[in-house]
Structure 1
Amino acid sequence: MVVSFQVFKKSSLNGKVHMYLTKRQIRDFVTHAEDIEGAVLIDPSFVGDRRVYAQVVLRFRFGREDDETMGLNFTKTLCVETKQVYPPVEEHHATEIQVSSVSLHIERVQSLPSDELTKPPPHGSITRNFLTCSGTVTVEVSLDAPVYRQDQDVTISVNVINKTSKDVKKLKVKVMQLSEVPMFSHTQRREKTLSKAEEALLLPPGACTQRAITLVALVPPKRAQGMVFLQGSLTQTSSGASLAQTTLLPSDVCRSDVFGILVSYIVRVKA
């Protein structure tokens, strides 16, 4: 029996150190992650009595590379783990002058826990009163599924109850991407509308109505792509852009300690 599989290779510029990985997508199961398996091939005559280290480095870019001038750098790096691979030892502590001379990008993708699919669809309601009229308006909203994939229809059920003395004339519904960068002292938050719909209601006092509106979470046109977070790619030649997936965190992880971007999606309804 012949077993075939793909191997990824990266070599140093002088061809003395080679790194091989069996995969470049490391799956994240929220509570744990897959191991990174690979091998390092070195030239002993080049290494001599020096040591060779393998590191897992997280690199976060929060600005465009084209804007980096005069030493300004829009990236932050965090060494997640370091291990001496030659000569092999059980553990070690790397110093600042110890550099891995070969780097190969890997991609960590999250796997959706099965219990997320069995959760009830999201729903919510709000009742508001106003200074310009008496009574209240109640808006109830529910979705048809707990989880959505990109380009999948999102059916939004809206129930509006008008108990004021004025007409409710419009209904606005949006699907939005929320993003947060908690590692900065001044936490940056951003909201971006992906798709929206607006309907005329003309709902008189004492009346109620039910509406079902279908929207799709789509990547905005190229001129507005810089306003949303997209899924990263291992190669620059990958065709098509996809929205970043919702960030799932274990219950014991503090949001303010996350080194990266927290992404979520909401449906916003306004009458």
Structure 2
Amino acid sequence: MSSKNVVYKKICKDKSVGVYMGKRDFVDHVDSVDPVDGVILVDLEALQGRKVFVSLSCTFRYGRDDMDVMGIAFRRELYLSTRQVYPPLQDREKGIHTKTQAKLLRKLGDNAFPFFFEFPDNLPCSVALQPAPHDVGKQCAVEFDIRVFSAESQDAKVHKRSSVKLLLRKVQYAPESGGVAPCVETTRDFLMSDKPLHVKASLDKEIYYHGEPIKVHVNVTNNSSKSVKNIVISVDQVATVVLYSNDSYVKSVAIEEFGDSVAAGATLQKVYTLLPLLANNRERRGIALDGKLKHEDTNLASSSIIKEGVLKEVLGIMVSYRVMVKLVIGGEVGLEVPFKLMHPKPDAGESESESEPMSMVFQEFKRTYLKGMIGDDEEEEGNVSGGDDMAPKEK
């Protein structure tokens, strides 16, 4: 019984080069990052003697209009690595290939060449700040891409028709074992009151998955002479843009006023439930989102987990979450309970047997250049059906 693997392919306009990759999501395990690998298919006739290069880049872009200078959006390249693929600089047959690479090389033939990049462990994950509905231009985001191009040399001018770019994502998943369930408590004294107000808030666990309800346990012991008039609970997202200004954007992505009161000398023990979802925040500018590929949906950004010793200044956008519990007593008594919001690690075991035949389903992407953009040759990616004259034929 044969299995099917999706392979992403993209061909440049002059047909000289095409890129084939088995995946576009690469996992940051904190101590290491999945390597980036794929295969480049070249058309020797269309190359006309040019060389072929492949580069992996990470770019931080701040595209808000008020940061633009003379129409050019602020951007900074956090990482760039470029390799020559053709003519190969070493005997490719002696290299170690991944399973997908090996099968692609067998399927695509003699004009296919592998590439391989090791991800540095000090780069941010793919994340973007949601623009407002009326915003135009590029959003504030950390983006990764693979770019393949043919040119006379690595430093020569690259023509759009001879280059192709495929967006990637760097993602993190929740660790298999979470930390201690968070618990915060505080005691507040008041003038003209002999005894204090004590509040305790706790969660069931440290890590929650996207789409999972969050239960907040609240205990109030009100020995003061004041009355608690209302209890307001929110889930706050804190997105800190550390690269250029260390600005923090605090957004309540779920908030409820429960209307509970606690009279002087009374107590309250109650569990409140909140559900932070992007679906309820789609019109709000500045909400941090997980990086997405074109024409795919996404979700609220996952919490950032940083390797010890890495400089935060190079991490672009850092995201954290907290539950805020506020008791309204004339003024407010508040507690912050930190937690992590992430995706569960996908089930292992999706890899296929080396001896098992594979039917490759090729997903093609067509380039359409955005008009009026200044600087980098940005493009839209759209899913299209049909083949390509560089695509391998199914047997």
TM band (smaller chain): 0.7 to 0.9
Q: Which has the higher contact order (CA 8 A, sep 6+)?
A: 2
Gaps (5+ residues) in structure 2?
Answer: 91-152, 328-395
1:19-168 mapped onto 2 (5 Å cutoff): 19-47=19-47, 50-63=50-63, 70-89=70-89, 97=156, 101-116=163-178, 119-130=179-190, 135-168=195-228
Q: Distance in 2 between matches of 1:131 and 1:83?
A: 70
Aligned-pair RMSD on alpha carbons?
2.8
Q: Deviations over 1:237-262 (max 9, x none)?
A: x2x5411111111123232231x211
Q: Percent identity?
A: 31
Change (3 A) 1:54 1:228: same
Change (3 A) 1:157 1:82: same
Q: Distance in 2 between matches of 1:145 and 1:246?
A: 15
In structure 2, which of residues 275, 291, 294 is the aligned counterpart of residue 232 of structure 1? 291
Asked if 1:266 is matched to 2:322, the reply is yes
User: Which residue pairs with 2:309 in the alignment?
Assistant: 252
* Number of residue pairs the alignment of both structures matches: 261
1:194-233 mapped onto 2 (5 Å cutoff): 194-219=253-278, 220-224=280-284, 226-233=285-292
The residue matched to 1:5 in structure 2 has which SS? strand
Q: Distance in 2 between matches of 1:122 and 1:228?
A: 24
User: Which residue pairs with 2:386 in the alignment?
Assistant: none
The residue matched to 1:127 in structure 2 has which SS? strand
TM-score by length of 2: 0.59
Retained in 1: the 8 A contact 2:17–2:43? yes
Retained in 2: the 8 A contact 1:29–1:112? no
User: Which residue pairs with 1:10 in the alignment?
Assistant: 10
Retained in 2: the 8 A contact 1:55–1:79? no
Q: Distance in 2 between matches of 1:16 and 1:262?
A: 39
Q: Distance in 1 between matches of 2:164 and 2:201?
A: 52
The residue matched to 1:151 in structure 2 has which SS? coil
TM-score by length of 1: 0.84
Amino acid in the other structure paired with 1:26: F
Q: Distance in 1 between matches of 2:43 and 2:258?
A: 69
Post-superposition shift, 1:23? Answer: 1.0
Q: Distance in 2 between matches of 1:6 and 1:133?
A: 68
Post-superposition shift, 1:132? Answer: 6.9
Q: Distance in 2 between matches of 1:103 and 1:250?
A: 29
